[in-house]
Amino acid sequence: MKRILTAMAALALVAGAALPAAAGMIDDIRSRGTVRIGVSLGGEPVGFRDAQNNPIGYDVDVANRLAEKLGVPVEFTDVSGDARVSMLVSGQLDIVVANTSATLERAKTVNFSIPYNRAGLRVIVQRDAGITQLSDLAGKNVVVGRGTTGETFLKREVPEAQLVYVDNFAPDGVLQLQQKRVDAAIEDSSLVDFLATQNDQLVTLPELYSNDPIGIAVAKGDPEFVRWLDMFVSDYIQSGAYEANYKKWWGESANPPQLNPLW
């Protein structure tokens, strides 16, 4: 029996040597020396550029904190719409922190952390456009981001709306609203609520048409990395950094959406 056990141990050692454990994403990132994070710089205050063209905003702060916890500098790429997912799947990005709603459909393709923010779809309209409810968008020109949950929602709920597509809500969609080339837009409440405070010709409809979890997205294949990201977000919430970051960008009087840590 002792000989059999010894032989089995030897075989296990050989097998272990022949089939080393594959390095995970964290090891890959640290070996490379940078983490490639996609952020959406399409609208204040979630993500935009300052006067020196540097990425700033709520998501950018989260991404910088994430890179700090990984112990490597960050390399930012501006992404939006469908590119957020396709660049992860193709391996061009390690992580996406780009105001991405964690939906069941997207989760077929990429993995999500627990929510680091929440937002709902909201409609913003020209003050003098006579739009007071969702059905009033029928026949109106409405800006939507290509490949967004807002596009899917309007196609289902108000198919008569005339959709005007943009790849980036800001500056493209915002500019069309400011120049009154469109009647309305639909976007995350986090973006349009802020926009309405900056322009007295624009108002938001009061309804929220969803309450979407906003998650950090990564490619499938490394569940341990997803677990680490869940721990990262839990720490972000419990440490007070979440509330501080939210109030930094939406104002001290803002009430951050309720988030629940997993750890």
Tell whether 29 is covered by a domain. yes
Residue of 120, 110, 116 lying closest to 63 (CA atoms):
116
Q: Do residues 54 and 75 both lie within one domain?
A: yes
Q: What is the pLDDT of residues 220-246, one digit of tens each?
A: 999 999 999 999 999 999 999 999 999
**In a shared domain, residues 92 and 138:** no
- Report the phi/psi class of residue 204: left, alpha or beta, with left for phi > 0 and alpha for psi in -120 to 50: beta
Answer whether residue 4 is part of any domain.
no
pLDDT of residue 11: 41
Cα-only R_g, the chain: 22
Neighbours of 87 (CB within 10 A): 18
Buried b (16+ CB within 10 A) or exposed e, 179-209: eeebbbbbbbbbbbbbbbeeeeebbbbeeeb
- Count CB atoms within 10 A of the CB of residue 34: 14
Same domain? For 36 and 100 the reply is yes
In a domain, 36, yes or no: yes
- For residue 58, give the nearest of 121, 102, 116, 123 by alpha carbon: 116
Residue 15 scores a pLDDT above 60: no
Instruction: Please give the tally of structural domains in the chain.
Output: 2
pLDDT exceeds 60 at position 203: yes
Range of the domain at 242: 24-118+213-250
In 71-114, where does DSSP find H-type helix? 83-89
Specify the pTM: 0.75
pLDDT of residue 76: 98
Section 252-258 average pLDDT: 81
